[in-house]
Amino acid sequence: MKRLIIYISPYILIPLIFSGITLLTGIVTYHVTSRDLVQNIEPLPKIFWLACASFVFSFACGYLILRRILKPISKFVTEAEKLPALSQGTDAGGAKKATEEIEHIHYVLDQVTTILSQVEARELFPEIIGQSRAMRALFAQIVKVAPTDSTVLITGDSGTGKELAATAIVDHSLRKGKPFVKVNCVAIPEGLLESELFGHEKGAFTGAIAKKKGKFELADGGTIFLDEIGDMPSATQAKILRVLQEREVERVGGAGSISVDVRIIAATNKNLTEMVKTGAFREDLFYRLNVFNIHLPALSERREDIPALVDHFLGSAEKHFSSRAMQLLLGHSWPGNVRELQNVIERAAVMADGNIEPEHLPPEFQGELGATVNHGGPDEGKPLDERLAGIEKGMIIEALSRAGGIQARAAQFLGINQRSLWHRIKKYGIDVDSLKKLQNL
């Protein structure tokens, strides 16, 4: 005969146990009091000992339950701290001394979660360099939207990698392996854009010597990526809107419509919301495109990824950035984002014969060498609290870089205790593991 096993959630079982103890104590107390009053016996002594027994029993139950729950967690934390990837992050037990036990468990579990998410990021997105908290949040969005057929609008400053994000969406979608057509709307002359997108019939205009399929037809069954869609002419915007609504295209000079099954991913470095207000971009098209918005963080918002990006762009070159040069990279405002970083690294690698020093960096970095700490750029126009937070975050990143990622040493550099530093690291979402790469420079 098969044994029946019933599973009850701890969230129900634990409150039920203590509620039962309270109820049982009340019932017993009532009966003892009633009986003693009938017999003209003073009930207070029995009530006192009954309360003591109830307290001891409740305490024992609570202890056993807590021990049952925390024992495997504590064992996991102890084993996790022995791992090389985590032992450096906890500064050889320093964090445990600086925090309470429960807080320390939370810290270690948070570190384990971070490492697992970084491993997942490397496995799922090997083509995108970056494991900071901001990038992992971006990857989570891509994983959510990729399997759907929803239209995606990718926004972000120039040089943040919008095309890489679009490619990642396609690689994790159900349309992977099907046509993926990329169109840069600003690179095609306005007079030729419609022909490129929708195709044309023979003789439709001067020079149209043969029928030509447009990008939408070529992408049928797959995905089309419309880069820099904010620069698209108004007339073409109206036709893109029709494709989104009707799933049909009409060639230039053609008489009939052609059905297409295409997923659209658009990208822009412009503020389309403001463009809609000024009439520079169609409002109805904006809402059709902005079904799922993905915003790419600027490089200044994910400075922890700079060491990994530096390694990637240097490639197999036998050159490394000195600690001082790396600090300048971490403190720069990076208005040009990853593209600017790549150019700076390539220039520095050409200029340097051996290790790359501050003097091998472009002239604008030389002015930052002895300047007052300003890790977030001028930040003009931002509220004071936001600017101060940016400076504080930059100082912490620089201290961690100098300390090779060891929090105890970084706290000494900053003149604060380690617990205070740990709280600030969590507040600003700084990935300490990424900064440990500076130890090898």
Q: What is the pLDDT of residues 55-86, one digit of tens each?
A: 888 888 888 877 877 778 777 777 777 766 56
Give the residue carrying structure tokens 């023979």: 202
Copy the structure tokens of residue 411: 């706290």
Q: Which amino acid is it at 183? A: V
The span from the CA of 307 to the CA of 301, in Å, is 14
> How many residues does this entry show for the chain?
441
Can you say how many angstroms the Cα of residue 401 is from the centroid of all Cα atoms in its chain?
21
How many Å apart are CA 66 and CA 6, to the nearest integer? 21
pLDDT at 122 over 50: yes
- Among the residue ranges 55-64, 90-99, 374-383, 395-404, the one predicted with the least confidence is 90-99
Mean pLDDT of 368-396: 61
Q: List pLDDT tens digits, range 140-171.
A: 999 999 999 999 999 999 999 999 999 999 99
Angstrom distances, CA of residue 16 to CA of 7, 11, 19, 61, 134:
14, 9, 5, 12, 41
pLDDT confidence band for 440 (50 / 70 / 90): very low
Q: What is the pLDDT of residue 222?
A: 96
pLDDT at 223: 97
pLDDT digits (tens, 9 = 90+) for 7-45: 667 777 778 888 888 888 888 888 878 887 777 888 788
Q: Which one is predicted more confidently, 256 or 434?
A: 256
At a CB cut-off of 8 Å and minimum separation 6, what does 400 contact?
A: 407, 410, 430, 432, 435
Across 115-131, average pLDDT = 78
Which range (205-219, 286-300, 369-383) has the least confidence? 369-383
CATH number of 302-440: 1.10.8.60
404 pLDDT higher than 80: no
What's the pLDDT score for residue 144? 94
**pLDDT for 348-376, tens place per residue?**
988 888 889 888 888 888 665 554 344 44
Tell me which amino acid residue 326 is: M
CA 424 to chain centroid, in Å, comes to 18
Look at residue 96 and tell me whether its pLDDT is greater than 70: no
- 298-321: per-residue pLDDT in tens? 998 898 889 889 988 988 767 888
pLDDT of 381 reads 57
Which of 148-162, 211-225, 308-322, 382-396 has the lowest average pLDDT? 382-396
Strand ranges (DSSP E) for 235-310?
A: 248-249, 258-259, 263-268, 292-295
CATH number belonging to the domain at 149-298, selected among 3.40.630.10, 3.40.50.300, 3.20.20.80, 2.40.128.50? 3.40.50.300
Q: Which pLDDT belongs to residue 1?
A: 55
Annotated domain spans of the chain: 10-82, 149-298, 302-440
pLDDT of residue 94: 45
Question: Taking phi first (over 0 means left), then psi (-120 to 50 degrees means alpha), and beta for anything else, what does residue 400 get?
Answer: alpha
Q: Is the pLDDT of residue 239 over 80?
A: yes
> How far is the C-alpha of 204 from the C-alpha of 32, rounded, in Å?
102
- Looking at per-residue pLDDT, the higher value among 82 and 425 belongs to 425
pLDDT higher at 409 or 334: 334
Of 344 and 112, which is predicted with more confidence? 344
pLDDT digits (tens, 9 = 90+) for 161-200: 999 999 999 999 999 999 999 999 988 888 789 889 998 8
Top mean pLDDT of 117-126, 225-234, 361-370 is at: 225-234
Q: How far apart are CA 402 and CA 109, in angstroms?
A: 26
Residue type, 180: F
| pLDDT exceeds 50 at position 120 | yes
Mean pLDDT computed over every residue of the chain: 82
Q: Is pLDDT above 60 for 93?
A: no
Residue 265 has pLDDT above 80, yes or no: yes
302-440 matches 149-298 in CATH topology: no
